[in-house]
Structure 1
């Protein structure tokens, strides 16, 4: 089941997200987050009238996706950056595709005109998800970040949602 996230989901979302922070280069964050941090992020997304969704499996949240403003400058008002994470135990079952498609539908009902996704490379699963849900690759920033002792390229993907 896919549904809008609630503040009650914050602890579970942090639980899903934090291993990506500590053990991977998929996110460029380096400090784990708390449920309070997630609640503040959720409120920030909702304040911009943007979607924050979760997907459940057997009544347990196993993934989340949301859109946030791409950049703070006024001309970027209708551009959003998307985020999606799944519990690794839930991967490989099509849940990510279902969740991402639901996010895209929600974005089409919002003020967003274009969605942008940034992916730490290499990441075959995330690239495949982007392409399977209609995104196009628009560029790569070489060695844009450094984490876990290595330089990381970032792929930029874009989807028109208006």
Structure 2
């Protein structure tokens, strides 16, 4: 079941997200996020009229996806940046595709014209997901992040609705 995130989902969301913070370069965040901070982030996204979705299976939250403003200037108001995270061990089951399908549908309903997804490279699984969803690579920034003692590249994939 995919639904809009509620404030009570914050604990489960940080449980998913903080695994990536502590163990991967998938996010450039380096310190764990509190449930209170995650509730604030969800509120900011939803207050902006953008979707933050969660995927539940048998009462357990297995993933989430959301869209945030691409840039603050008003001419960017029809463009967003998308993110999707799955609970560690829940990958390769099509859950990311289901979340992105629901997210893209919600974005189209809101009149969003372009969605960008940033991927720390290399990340073959994320590249496959984004391209499966009809996104194409439009940029690559070299050595823009530094985590775990290494410089990291970020690529951007885009979908125009």
State TM-score, norm by structure 1.
Answer: 0.96
Offset at residue 63 of structure 1 (A): 0.3
Q: Which residue of 2 aligns with 1:155?
A: 155
Offset at residue 111 of structure 1 (A): 3.4
User: How many residue pairs were aligned?
Assistant: 161
- 3-state SS of the aligned residue for 1:90? coil
Offset at residue 13 of structure 1 (A): 0.1
Matched, 1:37 2:37: yes
Work out the CA distance in 2 between the residues paired with 1:39 and 1:112: 24
Q: Which residue of 1 aligns with 2:15?
A: 15
Q: Which residue of 1 aligns with 2:74?
A: 74
Q: Which residue of 2 aligns with 1:117?
A: 117
Offset at residue 58 of structure 1 (A): 1.4
Work out the CA distance in 1 between the residues paired with 2:132 and 2:111: 24
Work out the CA distance in 2 between the residues paired with 1:104 and 1:77: 16
Q: Which residue of 2 aligns with 1:95?
A: 95
- 3-state SS of the aligned residue for 1:89? coil
Work out the CA distance in 2 between the residues paired with 1:104 and 1:111: 11
Q: Which runs of 5+ in 1 are unaligned?
A: none
Work out the CA distance in 1 between the residues paired with 2:120 and 2:96: 17
Work out the CA distance in 2 between the residues paired with 1:111 and 1:36: 30
Work out the CA distance in 1 between the residues paired with 2:110 and 2:31: 31
State TM-score, norm by structure 2.
Answer: 0.97
Work out the CA distance in 1 between the residues paired with 2:98 and 2:31: 29
Work out the CA distance in 1 between the residues paired with 2:26 and 2:108: 26
Q: Which runs of 5+ in 2 are unaligned?
A: none
Q: Which residue of 2 aligns with 1:26?
A: 26
Q: Which residue of 2 aligns with 1:60?
A: 60
Work out the CA distance in 1 between the residues paired with 2:108 and 2:79: 12
Q: Which residue of 2 aligns with 1:47?
A: 47
**Deviation per CA, 1:15-43, whole angstroms, max 9, x where unpaired?**
10001011111001111101111111111
**Deviation per CA, 1:38-57, whole angstroms, max 9, x where unpaired?**
11111111111100000012
